[in-house]
Structure 1
Amino acid sequence: MSSLDIVTAPPLAGVPHGFFGRGGGVSQPPVEGLNCGFGTDDDPQAVTTNRRRAADALIEGAAIAAPYQVHSPDVAVATEAWPQGERPRCDAVVTRTPGLLLGIVTADCAPVLFSDTDAGVVGAAHAGWRGAIGGVTDKTIGAMIRLGAEPRRIRAAVGPCIAQKNYEVGEDFMAPFLEEDPANARFFREGASGKPHFDLESYVAARLAGAGVGTVWLAGEDTYAQPDRFYSFRRATHEGAPTYGRQISLIGIAPEAR
């Protein structure tokens, strides 16, 4: 078995967390590796095994509370893992339950992990462009505040996602961002084809900073450009692949922390 590829954020040191790549899993081609998406055309048992491997790397035996993601700004509070058929339809999860891992899956969208260690509260959000402009990170912060967190104490980490150089969009894509704030033009630049390219990572970071988050860390890893490390929806589409995998990002509170 190859080793797991885990990107960790220095500001979250001491908090069980990780942005997992595709290394170390049991899934077979075309999604070989640590595919953790049940929505993929993959063997569900392989996905279950991959998720178990990822969880055990952080908190052995821990359950994963993971939502059914729908590109929304909605957030759920978890006290335990949901059965597969009963997962809430949302794109972020928060908890103050020790020993429980929160999980979201991505394949170019930005995974964001949050922690306020003083309050004993953590969160995880899936920030695609729809969720990001819709306020998924703001709502995650709000849900954490209701559990006792304070924005200035929150440390947030934005994991591997598609980089601006590979995120070409149409002119109409820019409209809602410019309507929200004309200053959002700074997150777009013209590509070689003349079409705009969107900087998702920087936009998410700006939303976090604007919400008063005390520390914001960026992984700076491009999912599109690293096929051996990460799954990418856009790369799979450009290659005409029949399906694409999803990497998982996890965060939790160590059982002994409270």
Structure 2
Amino acid sequence: MSLPVVQSELLKGLPGVRHAFFTRQGGVSSGLFDSLNVGRGSSDEAADVEENRARAAGWFGVMPDALNTCYQIHSARALTAEAPWGRYRPEGDGVVTDQRSVVCGALHADCAPVLIADPKARVVAAAHAGWKGALTGIVAETVAAMERLGARRADMVAAVGPCISQASYEVGEEFEATFLEADPAHAAWFAPGAPGKRQFDLPGFVLSRLAAAGVNRAEWVGRDTCAEDELFYSNRRAFRRGEPDYGRLLSAIMLD
């Protein structure tokens, strides 16, 4: 199925791997959710969400039941999928597989989606990395889960998808303090903002977590969900506008 997607040049070059960072375009939802909202936790019409998920699955050439996504809880929990989950949504923030029958997916609307592949071991993963999950270890846990399936960190390739950029991500000083308490070196991911405010580099921080986990071939695709209204949903943008809800984007990867 033809849907507009963003792709990583690093991942595109891998044999036997397909991936997509879907935009908000090409679906059936309306209003605030216009149009490819895949979030079952949103207040969108359930039938529209299921049709959107089916369209995304169709892009990969699989049935909707093969699109495995978690009930995301901003955790460091990565789950291994041995088969399609169907409508089952286990709690967690990472999906890892070595099965061709499974599409690993992450939902997001400003948080950073991370897609990882080891084309030699034929293991792939998708992770949802908001600031909390990134800080508490979702990237490292996802990489470790891939290793348990035979992947090697030296052979992994990763991409951070569309997410909120540093220019759009203003936070309070107490937010920065949480990071500095964990590691003073995290100061590198903050810049001055308005008085009493800081700007946090989420994609840069997630890339640093990949490097710390031993994944050295990685990139951010360079797209800002908050700033690009026509292409992406954004939690922060919805909050600024006083909107009661927002759509969820999908980023996904599978073995060919």
CA RMSD of aligned residues (A): 1.4
| 1:20-42 residue CA offsets vs partner (Å, 9 max, x unmatched) | 01010000101111001011111
- How many angstroms apart in 1 are the aligned matches of 2:41 and 2:100? 28
**1:6 corresponding residue in structure 2:** 5
- How many angstroms apart in 1 are the aligned matches of 2:78 and 2:242? 33
Matching of residues 83-162 of structure 1 within 5 Å: 83-84=86-87, 86-162=88-164
Which residue of 36, 39, 43 maps to 2:38?
36
Letter of the structure 2 residue corresponding to residue 10 of structure 1: E
Letter of the structure 2 residue corresponding to residue 29 of structure 1: G
- How many angstroms apart in 2 are the aligned matches of 1:214 and 1:161? 20
- How many angstroms apart in 2 are the aligned matches of 1:187 and 1:57? 35
Please tell me whether the aligned partners of residues 67 and 92 of structure 1 are also in contact (alpha carbons under 8 angstroms): yes
| 1:206-249 residue CA offsets vs partner (Å, 9 max, x unmatched) | 01011111310111100000111000000000001121000001
Which residue of 217, 220, 231 maps to 2:233?
231
Which residue of 62, 70, 84 maps to 1:81?
84
- Describe the SS at the equivalent of 1:87: coil
Please tell me whether the aligned partners of residues 59 and 99 of structure 1 are also in contact (alpha carbons under 8 angstroms): no
**1:188 corresponding residue in structure 2:** 190
**In the TM superposition, what is the alpha-carbon distance from 1:194 to its structure 2 partner?**
4.1
After TM superposition, the score normalised by the length of structure 2 is 0.95
Letter of the structure 1 residue corresponding to residue 9 of structure 2: P
Which residue of 65, 68, 73 maps to 2:71?
68
Q: Which runs of 4+ in 1 moved over 4 A?
A: none
Call closer, same or farther: CA 1:178–1:8 in 2, change over 3 Å.
Answer: same
| 1:26-61 residue CA offsets vs partner (Å, 9 max, x unmatched) | 001011110010111111111111111111112343
- Describe the SS at the equivalent of 1:123: strand
Letter of the structure 2 residue corresponding to residue 116 of structure 1: D
**In the TM superposition, what is the alpha-carbon distance from 1:179 to its structure 2 partner?**
1.9
- How many angstroms apart in 2 are the aligned matches of 1:79 and 1:44? 27
Which residue of 198, 202, 205 maps to 2:204?
202
**In the TM superposition, what is the alpha-carbon distance from 1:76 to its structure 2 partner?**
0.6
Please tell me whether the aligned partners of residues 66 and 81 of structure 1 are also in contact (alpha carbons under 8 angstroms): no
Letter of the structure 1 residue corresponding to residue 110 of structure 2: D
- How many angstroms apart in 2 are the aligned matches of 1:186 and 1:25? 39
- Describe the SS at the equivalent of 1:52: helix
- Describe the SS at the equivalent of 1:105: strand
- How many angstroms apart in 1 are the aligned matches of 2:148 and 2:244? 42
Please tell me whether the aligned partners of residues 172 and 196 of structure 2 are also in contact (alpha carbons under 8 angstroms): no
**1:26 corresponding residue in structure 2:** 28
- How many angstroms apart in 2 are the aligned matches of 1:165 and 1:49? 34
- How many angstroms apart in 2 are the aligned matches of 1:222 and 1:193? 23
| 1:94-149 residue CA offsets vs partner (Å, 9 max, x unmatched) | 00011310111000000000000110100000000000000000000000000000
Please tell me whether the aligned partners of residues 190 and 198 of structure 2 are also in contact (alpha carbons under 8 angstroms): yes
